[in-house]
């Protein structure tokens, strides 16, 4: 199974800057069986965790997040870049492997005690996921886990999120 998914991910060297290997998931997204397999592999560990809402980080987290929310019969909540949400928000700044950014969520998106699954396509340094976790926790959400398609092991992003549960389908 992992090799089937791995075969659908294209490596693009020196993108977006020199020395970075970008894992391009667009071939996987275009492959109906590959997309279904990726979503099932990401959601399976959380099927019996009574997830109320799935949160996805902009933008590829939206793709997988909505698929997983549907599979779990849960709602979906987006975490977005600044200025993209129309209602009152809370925000967190974070560092990327090649810069920094900011994420926002509606301040009423998660109700205290809701069980939340956080989803994205990839975890690198863990900055995006850590900022997302902080936003979820600030709103009183109970984070049941984090599910990603790809983990870049050499950057230790998943380790930085401990003791939170991180499920990665593929590692590079």
Position 1 scores a pLDDT of 73
d(Cα 19, Cα 64) in Å, to the nearest integer?
Answer: 27
Q: What is the mean pLDDT of the chain?
A: 96
CA-nearest of 136, 82, 120, 85 to 106 is 85
Is 60 known to be catalytic?
Answer: yes
> What is the pLDDT at residue 99?
74
Which of the residues in the chain have pLDDT under 70? 97-98
- Of 58, 97, 137, 142, which residue is the catalytic one? 97
Q: How far apart are CA 55 and CA 138, in angstroms?
A: 14
pLDDT value of residue 97: 65
CATH tag, 47-171? 3.40.50.2020
pLDDT tens-place string over residues 16-38: 889 889 999 999 999 999 999 99
Is 97 among the residues known to form the active site? yes
């Amino acid at each position: 199974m992992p090799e089937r998914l791995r075969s659908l991910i294209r490596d693009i060297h020196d993108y977006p800057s020199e020395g970075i290997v970008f894992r391009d998931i667009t071939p996987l997204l275009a492959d109906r069986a590959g997309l279904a397999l990726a979503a099932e592999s990401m959601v399976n560990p959380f099927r019996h965790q009574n997830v109320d809402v799935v949160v996805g980080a902009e933008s590829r987290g939206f793709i997988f997040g909505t698929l997983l929310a549907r599979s779990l019969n849960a709602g979906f909540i987006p975490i977005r870049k600044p200025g993209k949400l129309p209602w009152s928000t809370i925000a967190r700044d974070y560092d990327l492997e090649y810069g920094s950014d900011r994420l926002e969520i509606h301040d009423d998106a998660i109700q205290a005690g809701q069980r939340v699954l956080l989803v994205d396509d990839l975890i690198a340094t863990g900055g995006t996921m850590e900022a997302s976790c902080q936003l979820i926790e600030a709103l009183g959400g109970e984070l049941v886990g984090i599910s990603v398609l790809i983990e870049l092991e050499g950057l230790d992003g998943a380790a930085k999120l401990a003791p939170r549960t991180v499920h990665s389908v593929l590692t590079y």
